[in-house]
Chain A
């Protein structure tokens, strides 16, 4: 059964840091690119980051560039999102999603983990 499970969300103060994890199962993780996508309460989807199957290529959205880092451990079927210098605007549900073969779309999604940045 193809599955993605995110964890690590919570409440953090402005300026703080948090690390999200995403564990995948049921598919060949080491052959798959992985995304993080977020959604602020009541708002639309915002792409955050993409990491290629081998971890060698990483891409970021403008609003998180320089503050967030995506990484992966293929031995653990896990992708991470290290978030630092958090601001209120980072408050969102963070989803992890698999990249479809050939960059065709995000075809498997987790249930998401909520991050709240507040003092």
Chain B
């Protein structure tokens, strides 16, 4: 199954803003958007953003997401050391009748 496309790595400085991207097509991201997850090394993933454009309870307002066409973006403001993690996007693909994930982006906070 074709997945979503994410850059393998992004590096940003402390207190800077990082924007991570996720590109799909009209059947997934372009249809109903993408959800975003964070996975810290050694831990299970954690949902940061719902596909319906809502932030789960307890998630910092430093995390926000948007979509333009077939590309979804996750923006993290005021980067902190604890933001260093792998970030995944996911979406339901209506043509495959399957969920698809991006390959993940490793965020390094310098």
Chain A interface (Cβ < 8 Å from any Cβ of B): 35, 37, 44-47, 50, 59-63, 95, 97, 100, 102-112
Contact = CB atoms under 8 A, between A and B. Distances in A.
Contacts of B32: 103
Interface string B37-68: 10100001111011110101000000000000
A100 B90 contact: no
Interface of B: 1, 32, 35, 37, 39, 44-47, 49-52, 54, 56, 86, 88, 90, 92, 97-104
B49 to A, nearest CB: 7
Contacts of A109: 44-47
B91 to A, nearest CB: 9
B29 to A, nearest CB: 13
A44 B88 contact: yes
Q: Specify the main secondary structure of chain B where it touches its partner.
A: strand
Contact of B51 (A37, A61, A104, A111): A104
Given A45-B45, A95-B44, A104 B101 contact: no
